[in-house]
Every structure is written in structure tokens, then in C-alpha cells.
Structure 1
Amino acid sequence: MHALPVGAVLPIRWRPRVVGGGVVSRQRQRQLGTAIRSARCARRMTQAQLGQACGYSASAISRVEAGLLRPADHSLAVIVQVLGLQLDTLGLGGAATLARDVTPNQEDVMLRRQLLVAGMAAAGASALPATATAAARPDASTRIVGALYEPTASVPVSLQELGRALAAARSQFTAARYEDLGAALPGLLSTAQSTRDASAGRAREDAHAYVARAWVLATELALKGHSDVAWPAADRALAAAQASGDPVVQGEAARVLAITMRRADRPAAAIDLLRRTAGSLGQGPGDISRAVAATLLMTAAYTAACGHRRTDALDLMAGAEDAVGRLADAAARPRSQLFTVDATTAQADLYWIGVHTALGTPDEGLPYAARTTPGRLPTAERRARYGTDCARMWHHLGDHRRTVAALIFTEQVAPEEVRRPALRALTADLLYAPVTVAGVRELAARTGVS
């Protein structure tokens, strides 16, 4: 196959494909699009990156994944080659046939699951529960995977009802009730997407924003559990946010996508995304836009710190702190809280603690920890973040007693927070340290570490 020049855009058009004497329907094309999307997300690629690799526009890839366009044979061959898919495993190769003794509905279910498995398997992941027990008692990641690739049908509701449901889900996140949020998300996502699909005009744009924010919550939840499904969830969030045309929602979605990029060891790309988005929002009208820009700069600073880019981290935090200060000085603080984080002095102090710990200078985070009053932080999730950041800071300073005290504080304000993988690992490290600290064995027992 000849190499394609970078930036070349090939025509992608719908064309029915004959397979085993039949024609690939639009329903099957949508399923093929789902497999392509799942493989792309599992490989940590954006639509723009896949498009660049294949010589297509990002919008063309988006339409293919949505099942709105069917690529010609040579176009499809380029896509599956880049993603490491096989036409035969997708049921589209000449040798691939479906059983003749199944009903149309059964055939559809079989093909859908075949496509989903093939898409995730291309990157070494699985879209389906590994065991019957996992299927019977799905965790948050399994539920999000189901919402991503096998959504349930739902009845559209009014935008007012959808807004109330989204607010309730956001409250579960800010209260650190992650199990409740995980149980509610599939229904919320299904309802939001059904409502969007049934809407038109401005109402459809508003519904896109609700869909985006529901996926932001799904991404936040997946990030709490260090789950790989955070990437495809963030991808869905950004796509819906862009369709909404709302720059604030786009900023919220860009933030969670950048965090997944950092977790995938792509800090430079994450910082670039955050800087560009913050720059756009910072120049726009409205206090909320500037507040979101400040939160993006904080996230970029922490990302730079994790990559040991000290100068960048400190410069970005200084810019974020200045942006927050200008909001306060102008008495222009947003009337309502931002979606999952806030642009406040206390929020900046939390990030300073995390930035200095990640840079290996935890002692420089001590003044910020000392001047923070946890009870004044707006939500249980933020108070738990304070406890988490302090625990890591004290651990790096070698003070195990204060590390345990910070973890116990976190448990008191948000019991589910200390059961996250990262904090369980920290608790285990304390449990098996040469010197036993009072309270650590009991904490380990309560959180399932021992």
C-alpha cells in the first residue's frame, strides 16, 4: 500500500458492501463504526490523530464512527491497518460468514458483540466482563464500558428533567458517592443521548452539552479508579462538547481528556491541549469562561510537574493563581460552582501542594497545606483531595504518622476515596514499612488492604 501524504484528505462515502450474498446495512455500519471508535480509543488516539495517520479529516472519521458514512474498500483498509483490526474478525472479510440458523435479532446481537470484542482486542483490551461474577456485579468501569459500546434504549425527556438528573449525578460526584454515581451513569447517559437524538436546533445543542457533561462525570469516575475506559469516555465528552458549541463545556471536556493523556504518558500533548484551550477561554466573554481557563492552567501545571518540568509547572501555576486573583479582585467570581472543580484561592493552594510533591520538593508545599482550612473547601470530594494531597506530601517527607492522619481524615470526609487504587497502594506501603504507625493496621483492614 502506498504511503499517503500528511494532510491529504480522501473522499469517504457511503457504499453498500456485499458480504456472503447480502448487503451491509446501515445498522451494521453503525456497529462497524463502534468497533473503529473502540479500537481508536483503546489505542489512545483522537479522531484528529487517526485522521492524520490515515490521510483523512477528523470530521470524516467522526462520521464513519457515527455510522453516517461508509468508507469505500480502500479507505476502510487504511483505517483498519492503522488500528490493527482485521476485516475477517469484523465480519466483513470474504471468508467471514454468520451462522444461518439464528434469528435476525440473534444475528444482530452476535455481530455487535463480535465487533466490540474485535475493536477492543486490537489494543489488548476487553469490552466485555471477564467472568459471570463480573457481569452479575459490574463495577463502575464495566458499567461505563456498557454505556460506551452497548447502550440501553431510553425514552427522551425534557431538557429540564435532563438538567435535574445531571445535577443529581454531579452532586453524587462532589459528595464522593462514587458507587451511587456508577450505578446512575448508564441510565443518565442513555437518557441524555436519546434526548439529544430527539431534539433539533438550539435544543439539540443544549442536549449535546448535557451529554458532554455526563461523559465528563463518567471520565472523572474512571480516573478515580485508574481505569482505561477513561480515554474513550473523555473522547465522547469532547465530541459532544464540540457539537454543543459551548466553549465552557469544551473546556471541561478538554480538561478530563488531558488528564487521560497524562495518565497515558503523553504529558506534552496534554499540556499543549490545556494551554490552547485555556488561552481561547481566557480571551472570551464571561466570568465562567475565565474561571474554567484558570482550572485548565492548574491541571496543566500539575501535568508538567508529573513530567518533572519544573519551570513550566511553576509558570503555569503562577498564571493560574494570577487568573484566580483577578477574578477575586474584580469581585467577578462565578455565581455558581464550576462543574467538577472551582477557580478559587483554596483550589490553587491544593494544586500547589500537588505540584510541589510531584516535583520532589514537598517541603515547599507545606505553607499551602498549613493555610488551607479543609472545612471551607466546597465539597466532600475537594476536602478528600486535600487529605489525599497532604498524605502524599507527608509520605514524601518521610512522616508516616502524619501520612496516616491525612488518610484517616480523607476516610472521615469521603469513605469511598480511600478505597481508590492509589490510596490503597499508599496504605499498603505504610502497612509494610519497617516502622509500624498507630492506626495503619486498622485503616488497612477497613479499606480492604489487609
Structure 2
Amino acid sequence: MAQSVDIGALIRGARSAARLTQAQVGSMCGYSASAISRIEANKLRLGYAQMLCLAEALNIPLERLRAAGGSHSLMVATVSSGCPSDEEDVVRRREMLSGAIAAGTSAIVGTGTASASETRGPELEDTLFRLPSAQPAPLARLTAQTAAARRAFRAARYDDLSRALPRLLATADATAGTTTGKARQQALAVLARAYVLAAELAAKQHSDAAWVAADRALTAARSSGLPVPVGEASRVLAITMRRSGRWSSAVHLLTQEATALDAAEERSTAVRTTLLLTAAYSAATGHDRTTALALLGEAEQTVGGLVQVPGLFTVEASQAQVDVYRIGVLNALGTPDEGVKTAARLNIDLMPTPERRARAWTDTARMWHALGDSQQTFAALRSVEREAPEEVRRPALRALTSDLLYGSGRIQGLREFASRTGAVAA
């Protein structure tokens, strides 16, 4: 039997090894210094989303943290302390959805503008659990509102998206519930895409709300009967599964949906490419090198036969995207040196959206950090900030910045950058 580990001591030891204060760790995860103190003293129970954030911030393997939590940790939304089975994943999502229905159907949506350093996960959970009341809208107006929300995501304006989502989701839901025939099909597709955006945002916030949003996205997409929204929704659900440690289930879902798409239809082929890329990265997080590289190669072969295909919802199918995913896959496999040539030929400035450019610079920063090149890492992080100031304040990037700050050597401007982006207390 494995020896029981004190989760508070594990967190305290990792924080001390990283030379971080309780205030700095709290800032990265949306906690106060006193809350971190109570966690380290085993006086405050951790939810799954908080475990995930602390694991990234302190470079602790998530499974080790979950095992240390054992029966003393209250897992959010009935997540077990062990690795859940596929059946438990389904039960978990259903229980969260049931909780959403029981919570009520109305909520007060704040109108204030919060600072970029505030954690928005709880607000998003409140939105999903208690949609504001709304009236149906003409499909043209609803489609335009969804397109505006998509533009906010692709421009990495996450605060704007957070404020737009409650009304958009409520209006799309009301419209889908009062239409029939083709109009209902279109309204359900819009609803699915609104939930896709909610799931993408929750994933960036390390919020467990991603499960609810992704599940609802797939439910609405399947009800629409349209293959492209189904593929887009499957992708965000798989990302959520991967983040919870179910990488093999994520790969299975993505490859299954990719196979189901019509290979003769160009738009479906482009969606299939993005599913294969996400599946490749999911396999890499499970250290399945053979599967990861095979899926990556298949995606690259597919994208070579595509012309420019507009309209993919949050990620386009292109050779540049394949290169970005290759860097991420090789990072996850523990062979970042193999990605250096890919990074050298990748022209990130030509990628079409700030969110995608920021993602590319993020993977490049992780590559250089793994290779021990602090100057190149910092240069890449500065590029993330230039492209998307809100992106660089995400917990994972604040953790990377903090790790760089307390590493060996002094980098001019790094401390100011860390303070500006919330990696350390100002």
C-alpha cells in the first residue's frame, strides 16, 4: 500500500522549492495568501479546479496531488480522487447538469468591468447554472451576436466574452425552444457554438464549468443534426476530458468523430483536421508518442490538400496550425529539442488571430523553457503579451513567468513583466 502523503505539506514543499510566497501562489490561482496558508495547514479543502491550478503553478504532477488529497479533499462536482472511468465521466457531467437545473433559471448578471487579474471561473459557473431570462430573437440577429462573441474570443478579449455570454446563451436557448424545422436546426447550431465558446473560456480559466459547457454544446450540436457543430463541440469536450486526465478517452472521442465526418466535403475535412490535431496533442499528454505522431502526420497530410477554408469556429486548419501543434506535441512528449526546427520556420506573425498567435508563442515559450534558454523564453512571453494581454495573465502562463523569475540568472525587465502580468505581487 502506498504511504499516505500530507497534501498541505506537498504544496508547501513545492512552493518553498520554487521560492514563491503564499501571496504569489495565491495570485496565480485566484486565492488570498491566507487561503494558501489554510490549504498548507490542511484547513481548507480543495476542489478539482483548484488542484489543477496549484499543480500547474507549482509543477506538481496532478495525479500526485489528487492522490495526496485522498479522502480529505472535497472534489468539485463529484469528481473522484482517483482516475475516473469513462462511465464516471458521464455520470459526473449529468450530475453537474442536474445541479444546473436545480439551481434555478434566473440570475443577476453583473455589469461592472473586473480587472484582468480576477478569476472568472465562478462567474461562468453561475452563468451556466442560472441563465438570465431572455426572449427569442430573429436568427439573423442571434447569428450576428454569436459572430461578435467569436470575434472577442479570437481577439483574446476574454473579459468582453465573459460579459456577452450570459445573454447570448439565454437568447439562443430561448430561440431554439420556440422554433421548428430548419429554423430550429439553425438555432441549435448557434446554441452549440455559444456553448463551445463558453467551454473554451472555462478551459482557459481552469474552471470545472468547462464540463457543463462542453456537454451542453455537444447535446445541442447533435440535436441540430449538423456535422460541423458536432465536430466543434466534440473537440471542446475532448479538451476537457484531457485536462481531467482522461487523455485516452479524449483521443477515442476525437478520432471517432473525425472518422464520422464526410471526407468529400471540404468544410468537414477542415474540421476533421482540427480534431486530429487535438487528438495528437491529447495522446502526447499521455506520453503515447507513436499515436501522437501518427495523428499529427495524418493531419498534416490532410491539410496539404485543403485550400483556404473560412468559418471554422475557434481554430483554423492550416499548415501553421500543424506546426504549432507539432511544437506542443513534442513539448508534451518531453522532446522539445525536436521542435526547434519547426519553430524556426513558423511565421507566427502571419497567423490570423491574436488568440492563435498567443497560443503559438506560448508553446514556443514552453519549448525554450524546457531547453533552459531563459532569454528566448522571456522573449516569447513578451510576444504573448503583445498579442493578447489577457492571455498572458492565465494561471499557466503566470506560473511559467514565476518559474522563470526565480530561475538562475537575471533577465532585464522580467520582474516588471511578472508584476504587470500578475505572476508576482505588485
TM-score by length of 2: 0.74
Q: CA offsets, 1:207-234, max 9 Å, x none?
A: 1100000000000001111111111110
Question: How large is the Cα RMSD of the aligned pairs?
Answer: 3.1
Q: Which residue of 2 aligns with 1:362?
A: 336
**Could you tell me whether the CA contact under 8 Å between 2:251 and 2:282 is conserved in 1?**
yes
Say if 2:287 is the partner of 1:312. no
Q: Which residue of 1 aligns with 2:252?
A: 272
**Could you tell me whether the CA contact under 8 Å between 2:121 and 2:206 is conserved in 1?**
no
Specify the SS of the correspondent of 1:326.
coil
What amino acid is aligned across from residue 389 of structure 1 in structure 2? D
Aligned mates of 1:384, 1:345 — CA distance in 2: 17
1:144 Cα shift? Answer: 2.1
1:285 Cα shift? Answer: 3.8
- Residues 51, 220 of structure 1: CA spacing in aligned structure 2 closer, same or farther, 3 A cutoff? closer
- Residues 374, 192 of structure 1: CA spacing in aligned structure 2 closer, same or farther, 3 A cutoff? same
What amino acid is aligned across from residue 215 of structure 1 in structure 2? Y
Q: Which residue of 1 aligns with 2:417?
A: 443
Q: Which residue of 2 aligns with 1:213?
A: 193
**Could you tell me whether the CA contact under 8 Å between 1:143 and 1:183 is conserved in 2?**
no
Q: Which residue of 1 aligns with 2:139?
A: 159
Q: Which residue of 1 aligns with 2:381?
A: 407
Specify the SS of the correspondent of 2:317.
coil
**Could you tell me whether the CA contact under 8 Å between 1:146 and 1:186 is conserved in 2?**
no
Specify the SS of the correspondent of 2:305.
helix
- Using CA pairs below 8 Å that are at least 6 residues apart, which structure has the higher relative contact order? 2
Say how many residue pairs are matched.
339
Specify the SS of the correspondent of 2:304.
helix
**Could you tell me whether the CA contact under 8 Å between 2:258 and 2:272 is conserved in 1?**
yes
Match of 2:219 among 236, 239, 250: 239
**Could you tell me whether the CA contact under 8 Å between 1:41 and 1:232 is conserved in 2?**
no
1:438 Cα shift? Answer: 1.8
Q: CA offsets, 1:245-277, max 9 Å, x none?
A: 011100000000000000010011000000000
- Residues 53, 209 of structure 1: CA spacing in aligned structure 2 closer, same or farther, 3 A cutoff? closer
Q: CA offsets, 1:155-201, max 9 Å, x none?
A: 11100000000000000000000111011111110111111111111
Kindly, what percent of the aligned residue pairs are identical? Answer: 50
Q: Which residue of 1 aligns with 2:405?
A: 431
**Could you tell me whether the CA contact under 8 Å between 1:261 and 1:269 is conserved in 2?**
yes
Structure 1 unaligned spans of 5+: 1-38, 67-89, 91-111, 118-126
Aligned mates of 1:383, 1:245 — CA distance in 2: 32
Say if 2:354 is the partner of 1:380. yes
Aligned mates of 1:244, 1:138 — CA distance in 2: 36
Q: Which residue of 2 aligns with 1:352?
A: 326
Aligned mates of 1:165, 1:204 — CA distance in 2: 17
1:128 Cα shift? Answer: 12
Rg larger in structure? 1
Aligned mates of 1:404, 1:144 — CA distance in 2: 31
- Residues 302, 52 of structure 1: CA spacing in aligned structure 2 closer, same or farther, 3 A cutoff? closer
Aligned mates of 1:53, 1:139 — CA distance in 2: 27
Q: How does 1:76-87 map to 2 (within 5 A)?
A: none
Q: Which residue of 2 aligns with 1:106?
A: none
- Following superposition, which runs of at least 4 residues in structure 1 exceed 6 angstroms of deviation? 50-54
What amino acid is aligned across from residue 422 of structure 1 in structure 2? A
Say if 2:333 is the partner of 1:295. no
Say if 2:157 is the partner of 1:177. yes
**Could you tell me whether the CA contact under 8 Å between 1:42 and 1:231 is conserved in 2?**
no
TM-score by length of 1: 0.70
1:389 Cα shift? Answer: 0.6
More displaced stretch, 412-421 vs 141-150? 141-150
More displaced stretch, 206-215 vs 366-375? 366-375
Q: Which residue of 2 aligns with 1:256?
A: 236
- Residues 366, 269 of structure 1: CA spacing in aligned structure 2 closer, same or farther, 3 A cutoff? same
**Could you tell me whether the CA contact under 8 Å between 1:362 and 1:393 is conserved in 2?**
yes
**Could you tell me whether the CA contact under 8 Å between 1:140 and 1:221 is conserved in 2?**
no
**Could you tell me whether the CA contact under 8 Å between 1:350 and 1:386 is conserved in 2?**
yes
Q: Which residue of 1 aligns with 2:371?
A: 397
